[in-house]
Chain A
């Protein structure tokens, strides 16, 4: 927790500074709590990334390669040809300001360079200088800036202060997507060795062990067995998930946080219970043991490198298709990048639910189905015995995670599930949900402790909306379909709305699911007493 109190943190000054934005000056020492530590050299070395060294943003000299300006110039030139998005977005912005107050970091910090338009101008001004005639001739009058060390330091600060949530892109009349700008700016920063450890270490781990957390296969198995025991304690039912089993019908890939830490583990227990109740023939993989992909926060090449494992493993195991757990950026990668990067998945079959026979035609090419799509279909076909009263100790609201909402559009499936498994469901205000949902403040690799003040600031709009439904409807549970959310929102709620817990949707499914051979359920999956049962719940 930061030293600042809630009351201090909400004293947000939206008055822009006197100093013009084109004159950069970031005092990293004074801004501790709002930036992330650089990547450790060992991780960069493992990955073969440029310029591994130990350094700190508070250093005067960032130990850049001698020709760093040329490297970035050439990198930008290459990307302007490769990405129409980048070139167009740098050219067409009219600075109308519609995006300005849509960014959670701007709302929570009042820092004008967190307005998406100015975040993009940080790069755009250099683009003008290096690549446009008008910029070359007019210089500063034409909005052009040379790439100086101070400008580069500002890039590092602000492009690692964007969670790539795409909320601004919803409101932009030209669809300018700051996530795209940030992704490509981070690629440029990576070329000269400017990256943050909270991104690069998970990438290195994932490449080596199969998951961001660096969990090795024997520990993976131990973790799963521990959760199987816990689940048996809670339900009396012993499930039997297999690992790396050839010939299973489905490969099930989840974000690693789901089998590693609270509260994700309860979501994982929900998945296992569901798949067991239906007798689905599935396997987990200790090799492809990560659905998430921190490559998305590094570079397109890194996305591909990490994502490679999922199809590679599906092919090796000979499964028919792939089921994916609840995770936000994971689904951006699977939905918008996986098939393009690592497809075609012609060794898999078009996905069909083994229980209902429903063909998931929307996943016919990629052959990977979201677990909420899978479960919503089951409920619609009456394949689950559900007792929503087992969630009566909870008053639930739903947080649309950024990527599933704005890079996929999975809005109704989780809501349909929630309405089927809980009796008390309440929506947050309409400008804060669905495609207008607010980020948790810790996506895109920013969910680390040293960045805590900025996380809490960025999460303020989301926390505000939760507090609203907490006070109005007594909401005490924030459900979401993202592993980063489950980690980051938990901290956010502890700070802003401590009465509210965070969980995945399938934890609530697991609570409500009636299953053959279960013992009388007096507690939920967390071991908390149910409402009306032995010892009334605190709801």
Chain B
């Protein structure tokens, strides 16, 4: 019951912050830990990216997903099999912004008589894309807490997000999408027997944590109604490096902040580093041009195979008898 443990852990974390802040730990949960987490995040991510960057790329190994560039009259697949650096960059950007590989996803089914069918399956793509974009918008919207005056672009995003003007305060579409997408991603992990079989705590915990963050955020906006002026005071204090903890902030706010703090600190040590890693994937970010331009391996070992001279020496008599030309008589 890995999923239950993950949710239990998130509830415990939220409770610790909730009661901890109530018992006078506002400065700890509102200031100290967020700063610590930020440092852990920045150092951790930098270390992770540097460790990837330190590893060499000895060979050019793009996975080619389309026609190569060869003869002039054959149209190459310039995105799925790029032959230039620019094409490879475009391929990575499409991967990052549109989850292009996931879009290819198919579902295979075994039919009676041992026949497989393969049908397009866009659900994972749609769920993943919905989660990531909703999270991005929610993230950007939170910028309103950190800047005075609120930048126009943030107001613009808020306006678009609350386009339907339903409820008071206006319901943001992304809040619904975020919770729904996370719920879907969790559901599919539990519903599909093989996914359940392979999933680790490290797969459930981030989902539980993100759901905890989303749900506490939704509570704060629509139901508990935090005192946003004081929350903003706290937030601006944090980013201006003059932290102060205003009195009277709901402990639920600290629970919300603490879950985000945990997410930030957890990030560099988890599978969430895929955010940075996707840019460096050698099967995606390299052009398929190894026959056009030489790719250099910085540690190319000095290996010499069985030489012709050695070979001719061993098979000399047989070569001679069968009339194959020799270098030495």
Contacts and interface: CB of A to CB of B under 8 A. Distances in A.
A313 interface: yes
Interface string B180-211: 00000000000011111111111100000000
Given A121-B198, A343-B294, A84 B74 contact: no
Contacts of B322: 217-218, 221-222
5 contacts: A86-B55, A88-B281, A173-B278, A216-B318, A218-B324
Interface stretch (A28-36, A266-274, A334-342, A521-529): A334-342
Nearest to B61: A336
Instruction: Name which of A86, A100, A307 has the most chain B CB atoms within 10 A of its CB.
Output: A100
Contacts of B194: 14, 16, 97, 100, 112, 115
A97 B324 contact: no
Interface of A: 6-7, 9-10, 12, 14-16, 21, 80-88, 91-98, 100-102, 107, 112, 115, 117-118, 121, 132-134, 141-143, 166, 169-177, 180, 207-210, 216-218, 221-222, 243-246, 286-287, 300-301, 304-309, 312-313, 316, 334-337, 339-341, 343-344, 358, 360-366, 368, 373, 376-377, 380, 405-413, 416, 429, 431-432, 434-436, 460-461, 464
Contacts of A176: 281, 283
A157 to B, nearest CB: 17
A436 B270 CA distance: 31
Interface in B306-320: 306-308, 311-312, 314-315, 318-319
B114 interface: yes
Nearest to B310: A208
Nearest to B199: A95
A341 B308 contact: no
A9 B110 CA distance: 12
A340 B108 contact: no
A306 B300 CA distance: 15
B270 to A, nearest CB: 8
Nearest to B327: A316
Given A98-B105, A308-B303, A362 B69 contact: yes
A460 B116 contact: yes
A309 B306 contact: yes
A435 B80 contact: yes
Contacts of A175: 63, 95, 101, 281-284
A406 B63 contact: yes
Nearest to B275: A92
A174 B56 CA distance: 18
Task: Classify the interface of chain A: helix, strand, loop or mixed.
Answer: helix
Contacts of A362: 68-70, 83, 291-292
Contact of B273 (A91, A208, A461, A464): A91
A169 B281 CA distance: 11
A134 B300 contact: no
B70 A340 contact: no
The 5 A-B residue pairs whose C-beta atoms are closest, nearest first, are A10-B114, A308-B305, A409-B68, A175-B283, A92-B277
Instruction: Name which of B61, B95, B124, B312 has the most chain A CB atoms within 10 A of its CB.
Output: B61
A21 B64 CA distance: 32
Contacts of B319: 217-218, 286
A286 B324 contact: yes
Given A16-B196, A94-B203, 12 more contacts: A85-B282, A91-B273, A94-B274, A101-B108, A170-B65, A170-B101, A171-B105, A218-B321, A300-B59, A360-B70, A362-B68, A464-B114
B222 interface: no
A21 B114 contact: no
Given A88-B277, A336-B290, A97 B195 contact: yes
A443 B174 CA distance: 47
B71 A373 contact: yes
Nearest to B316: A217
Nearest to B193: A16
Contact of B292 (A313, A365, A405): A365
Given A16-B193, A304-B303, A305-B305, A411 B288 contact: no
